[in-house]
Structure 1
Amino acid sequence: MYIQTPLPPGFDSGAFTFGAARAAGVSAKRLRSRDVEHPFWGVCVAAGTVHNLNDRCRALHKRMPAGAFFSHATAARLHGMPLPADLEADPLLHVSVIDPDRTLRLAGVNGHRVATSPGVRSVAGLPVLEPISAWCQLASVLELNDLVAAGDHLLRPELGLATAPEIAARVVQYAGNRGALRLRVAEAMIRPRVESRRETFLRLFLVMCGFPEPETNRDIPLPRGKRRVRGDLVYFCYKVLVEYDGEQHRTDTAQFNRDAERLHDLREAGWLVITVRKGSTKEWVQGAVDAALRSRGWRP
């Protein structure tokens, strides 16, 4: 029975370059064995160890020149910004260098060159363009609502990615670049505390319908003895709450029970609660919100 020669220490886990392994005495034949994969030219990994974006970026990082960094949609994904499904699934990685360095040219890589040194952060040990600049770059490839959803993510306070004044200043600096006009429109539409793309889209739809803009993910005080609850899209002056139900809680009995108690307490306190689900039609949502707001005194 054939027994594969083990790779030397330092090459038996994680990514490494073909050149480094050869310099350490590993034969080219050994590096072409079935237990070694090559996600990028000149990069080796143990077979079956590249599963996601972070794994691919860590592998490519071994071939990136000094000063290069992940940018564009790749940087946005590494910062956790929600993107359309086609970009989330895109295997192409975006890497930028600073002029006059040569653009990285590899299969599976979209190389870019920028004129000046931008802010770069370390994300899971990887050099990544800072989040506001990455969001600005998305303006040339995303539709407006998708760009707003990604921008909402920047303002989630628990993530500490950006503040509204920082975003506004960067948008001004981005003038003259592709997508700058769309970016200015999106910057005026992003809101803090939004927890999902679906919440963003629901809020934008309500505004498009001509309803007042709701506040996003705010605490709602309840009568004494009841805990405060947080609502997705809140009309305080009308005591109307619009919730997006992603249905994740249905796999968690404890969370399901907490949500049921929460909705009961809200209704007991006089709130009208409209629950929107993935399958809800736009016509139903518009009609339900219109009826609820009108019943509380709102008029167009």
Structure 2
Amino acid sequence: MSVYSIKDLEHLSGIKAHTIRIWEQRYNLFSPQRTATNIRFYNDDDLKLILNIASLKNHGIKISKIVALPKEALAQEVEKIGREQLSHEDQISALTIAMIDLDERSFTSVLDECIGKLGFERAMLEIVYPFMRKIGILWMINSINPAQEHFISHLVRQKLIVATDEAQVNESSPLFLLFLPEGELHELGILYANFLLRSQGFRTVFFGQTVPLEALEEVYHKLNPDYLMTAMTTAPDPNEVHQFVKQLGGKFKDSKVYITGSRVIDEEIELPSNVKILRQFEDLSQLTRAITLDEA
């Protein structure tokens, strides 16, 4: 079972830690355990409860009425609201609860509903990636079990691969080569980029995780791609990022290179002339539109 700080509950539910403490005292909502240094920590059931409370609060139900509901009635009320008017925040909460319970059927059901209502691209941008960002922060500080993060990543990965396979590619379009640096395992972002490019007709070659630059350089000269794209979330080491970016610009100087990820976004990095940073997925959409216009 995972453990959460009160700040984790705030991060996932949107309810301020101060408010959670007041509710805890006033309504006896939780019985948090304490560390040896007397710091509160909460369990999966506590997180699910605060997520359900947040959903009902967001739909105008007063906290005094919510806390009076038995647990089963509380869950039924959340489900009823969900059927009638599910907001993005509610959908993200539902995905979080499914992750906590390792409930594949529930996770897939919520995800499919989002895709059905919003379309695949908007569901990824507006629901899945905000959800993954929240979970990713908890994963990095060891608040959630890595197995839970792998569980949801696998399910999202399956959806991305299926959607990518269904895309129709224009064989005369520019070629993108997509990869992750050596040691980088977080591939959902680059998988989404691959889907987006192929769904707009571009040719792609996807090499996936932890690709050494020497190996990439060898295939680069065989494929002669127009563009390269990579994402840096946990690799390379922060002290090596500048040198890595410089190598990208030099080794692949005949192509335009696009980079993204927390290792480079909002960092002061001297970029070679053929390297640019994509700070958000919307930048990729703008890029593909610009390329399409240039090719027309």
Normalising by structure 2, what TM-score?
0.38
Which protein has the bigger helix share?
2
The structure richer in strand per residue is: 1
Larger Rg: 1
TM-score, with structure 1 as normaliser: 0.38
